[in-house]
Structure 1
Amino acid sequence: MEKERILHLYKAYQLQTATKEEELEFAKLLHDVQYEEIWNEILDRNWTEITERELGAAEFEGHAPVLASLKQHINYTPKSRKIWLKIAVVAAASIILTVLSVNYYFIASDKKSQEIHFANDIAPGKNGATLTLANGRKILINDAIAGNIANETGVKISKNRDGQIVYEVIGDQTGALVYNTLTTTRGEQTQIRLPDGTIVFLNAESSLRFPTSFANTAKRKVSLTGEGYFEVSKDKNHPFVVESDQQEVEVLGTSFNINNYSDELAIKTTLLEGSVRITNLNTKVQALLTPGQQAMINNDKLDTKNVETEDVVAWKNGYFMFNNETLASIMKRVSKWYNMEVIYNDEALKNKRFFGSISRYENISELLKVLQKTDVATFEIKGRQVIVNKE
């Protein structure tokens, strides 16, 4: 019955015969995780075939330029397939930009196809970090550095062709634990392979504190601020532990993302593979996550929910993903990567919601063009400031 209802709503929305109540129901079901499999079954077809079959060849021909333009602004990869198909379904209707009663804004517009120009621009962030050794020595890591970086007692530190900072144990580790800290500023990101083989991707304005060796330790413990994605090397005898502000995450071998920025309301831990146990350090309350779940800790409260994991780790895969996200949330992430300040001339714009995806390696003007084509807001670039104005 659920599938039949979704098919009915989908058809009614495409043909513009849906009532206001059906439009609201359609929007709600489209973004409800529990119906993901049904939507994937319906939408997992080539977008051209979907629109041409539903609209008819003649009508589709009129919409093809709009859909092609939309696709240019969406970083279409297998990981962004789901969100693209959702956008394509709505874009296929004759109302290309639809604002439902619940303010679902889609990044597309057939009435504003003219090119948008900005007088100034801001380049994207880049790979880079600062490595602070146990003796206080600081090493700036950038694209120009390759090969051997430093040597500590029994440890070789280098940078490989993939841009990873690599720790290799080359001697006996019988002394006290020695800690290093890897730090990124606004506009930087990096990745590191720890001595046990665990790989960590570090987002902008983040830091990772870790021992140079996990030898003779019962647990492989590191500390994180900001945001990091972890691919943990399996070792059932030595659990991997990530400490971050109010929480502790313990795993044996898995892939997960932690968002622990100080300017966010909650700490978010999202599991992609394996299992992790989250502990709220304030209350000692625990939660065991399964793949596709996210734990949120806000002071003494620990909640879990199902999420689209590809949205959460889009930053690690090189793009921004906006899935029913507020402009305030979007620009908060964007400002960290482009190292700039956002100024709103209308505070109400912060609550407007957007869908879309774009490469993190485009200049900021390209991202702003995509947002501005929704007719919700306009943007100005002044130095390292982005001014947001009402349309």
Structure 2
Amino acid sequence: QDIEIFAALDVPEAIITSESNGRITLSTPPATTTQITLDDGTQVTLSANSRLEYPKQFPTEGTREVHLTGEARFEVAKDAERPFIVSSCKMQTQVLGTVFDVNAYPGKVAAVTLFQGRVRVSDEKQTQQKDILPGQQAILSEDNGFTISEAQLTATEGWTKGEFSFDDAELAEIMKSVGTWYNTSIIFHSADLLKQRIHFRFPRTTSLEEVVQALNDLGIAKLEQKKGKVIISDYSPKH
């Protein structure tokens, strides 16, 4: 049975910025990150295959709100009078001034990882709310409840350093990251391989072909590129 853990998205081939009615939309292509500074001084690093919508100028009162599809690192400028809100998928993250990652690609569970400060996460209707502390990650489940756990910070922030960096991580987690970065569908032919744990460190500046070869060299599973997809099946050594 084929198990698709990531489906390629309809994304641009280059960084695109558009403006309409005082709002700016920034979109990134595969294997690309970009950095911007918002009107209030907040620094944003936008990951591959992502889209950020934000006002050209934040209002002088109320909240500072942006909308994210995909993944981004936020270093929020402090302003106690104007809370900063990231709306993404079915989740909201509210902060005053802090450093955190939001991962909210279509078809994946939404997650927030906190590096500095304090944030409050909630579902889009704000029926569930949780505060998380530095080093913690909040994951929104399908029933809009939150799971709070200690985050694997090295793996989470690897994309901001141009690396795939996983220590004793499940192959499914690693391949989701690969699929997201290169915007290629990932399909497992074996459910047993999903939870196979490996160590994997590799630069993101390399091609998908090189990443697939590096994973094949581990001898854990057989990875093949076919028609824009990566197929993962049981590894059968030759005799």
TM-score tier after normalising by the smaller chain length = 0.7 to 0.9
Please tell me whether the aligned partners of residues 220 and 239 of structure 1 are also in contact (alpha carbons under 8 angstroms): yes
Structure 2: distance between partners of 1:128 and 1:191 = 14
Equivalent residue of 1:133, what SS?
A: strand
Matched residue type, 2:48:
A
The match for 1:353 is 197
Structure 2: distance between partners of 1:349 and 1:275 = 36
Matched, 1:311 2:155: yes
Please tell me whether the aligned partners of residues 229 and 258 of structure 1 are also in contact (alpha carbons under 8 angstroms): yes
Structure 2: distance between partners of 1:133 and 1:290 = 35
Equivalent residues in 2 for 1:103-122 (5 A)?
none
Please tell me whether the aligned partners of residues 61 and 81 of structure 2 are also in contact (alpha carbons under 8 angstroms): no
Please tell me whether the aligned partners of residues 282 and 300 of structure 1 are also in contact (alpha carbons under 8 angstroms): no
Equivalent residues in 2 for 1:1-391 (5 A)?
128-134=14-20, 178-264=22-108, 266-282=109-125, 284-298=127-141, 299-382=143-226, 384-391=228-235
When the two structures are superposed, what TM-score results if normalisation uses the length of structure 1?
0.53
For 1:141-180, what per-residue CA distance to the aligned partner results, in whole angstroms no more than 9, with x for missing partners?
xxxxxxxxxxxxxxxxxxxxxxxxxxxxxxxxxxxxx211
Instruction: Give 1:204 deviation, angstroms.
Output: 1.7
- Structure with bigger helix share is 1
Q: How many residues align?
A: 222
Pair 348,198 (structure 1): closer, same or farther in 2 beyond 3 Å: same
Pair 277,365 (structure 1): closer, same or farther in 2 beyond 3 Å: same
Matched residue type, 1:358:
F
| Identity among equivalent pairs (%) | 34
- Between 1 and 2, higher relative CO (CA 8 Å, sep ≥ 6) is seen in 2
Equivalent residue of 2:158, what SS?
A: coil
Please tell me whether the aligned partners of residues 71 and 101 of structure 2 are also in contact (alpha carbons under 8 angstroms): yes
Structure 2: distance between partners of 1:218 and 1:225 = 23
Matched residue type, 1:132:
S
Unaligned runs of at least 5 residues, structure 2: 1-12
Please tell me whether the aligned partners of residues 205 and 226 of structure 1 are also in contact (alpha carbons under 8 angstroms): yes
Please tell me whether the aligned partners of residues 128 and 189 of structure 1 are also in contact (alpha carbons under 8 angstroms): no
Matched residue type, 2:103:
N
Unaligned runs of at least 5 residues, structure 1: 1-126, 136-177
Structure 1: distance between partners of 2:144 and 2:59 = 34
Pair 316,128 (structure 1): closer, same or farther in 2 beyond 3 Å: farther
Instruction: Work out which of the two has the higher radius of gyration on C-alpha atoms and give 1 or 2.
Output: 1
Instruction: Give 1:272 deviation, angstroms.
Output: 0.2
Please tell me whether the aligned partners of residues 43 and 74 of structure 2 are also in contact (alpha carbons under 8 angstroms): yes
Structure 1: distance between partners of 2:129 and 2:104 = 17
Matched residue type, 2:157:
V
Please tell me whether the aligned partners of residues 225 and 245 of structure 1 are also in contact (alpha carbons under 8 angstroms): yes
Instruction: Give 1:202 deviation, angstroms.
Output: 1.2
Equivalent residue of 2:115, what SS?
A: strand
Instruction: Give 1:310 deviation, angstroms.
Output: 2.4
Instruction: Give 1:386 deviation, angstroms.
Output: 3.0
CA RMSD of superposed structures (Å): 2.2
- Structure with bigger strand share is 2
Equivalent residue of 1:188, what SS?
A: coil
Instruction: Give 1:295 deviation, angstroms.
Output: 1.0
Pair 216,359 (structure 1): closer, same or farther in 2 beyond 3 Å: same
